[in-house]
Amino acid sequence: MNKEAQDLMEKARSVLGRAYVPYSHFPVGAALLMKDGQVITGVNVENVSFGATNCAERSALFTAISQGYPAKSVKAIAIAGISQGFLSPCSICRQVMVELCDPETAVYLSNADEEIMETTVAELVPLAFDHLDV
């Protein structure tokens, strides 16, 4: 896998310990490589009202917006966790990626063997609902 993917995945792994996961004990870390070269990380933040939980990917993407980045500023996303198989983003996060990333934005998934799978936002969300066509 290319060095960009490996470096970004390392950043995602480095924040796993910050995840707030008292209910699932399933930490997830995400790292965004912005088009300007900056890296923004996020972790999952759970809630006793489970539906109020925020996934790592959304935490990172919302942080980017909060820091002043406009939509479509993300070059690549890396997602790290503790699952055996490749950890794939949930559908709510995929929809947020559709909103805030380009279809060709790279998404790197990792597994317990520290292998990396590369996909894109468009591959994760075919036929995306991405505009109001009225």
Q: State the binding site for Zn(2+).
A: 55, 90, 93
Bridge-based pairing state of the strands 106-110 and 116-120: antiparallel
- Separation between Cα atoms, residue 128 and residue 86, nearest integer Å: 22
Closest to ligand THU by CB, 9 or 79 = 79
In Å, what is the CA distance from 56 to each residue of 1, 68, 78?
Answer: 23, 19, 10
How many residues are there in the chain? Answer: 134
57, 114, 115, 118: the active-site residue: 57
- Cβ atoms of residues 41 and 11 within 8 Å: yes
Among positions 74-93, residues that touch ligand THU (CB under 6 A) are 79, 87, 89-90, 93
Closest to ligand THU by CB, 33 or 60 = 60
How many amino acids of this chain bind ligand THU (CB under 6 A)?
Answer: 15
Among positions 24-63, residues that touch ligand THU (CB under 6 A) are 24, 26, 28, 44, 46, 53, 55-57
Q: How far is the CB of 128 from ligand THU (least distance, A)?
A: 17
Q: Is 114 a catalytic residue?
A: no
**Three-class SS state of 6:** helix
Sign of CA dihedral 117, 122, 126, 130: positive
Give the residue numbers marked as catalytic. Answer: 57
- The contact set with ligand THU (CB under 6 A) reads 21, 24, 26, 28, 44, 46, 53, 55-57, 79, 87, 89-90, 93
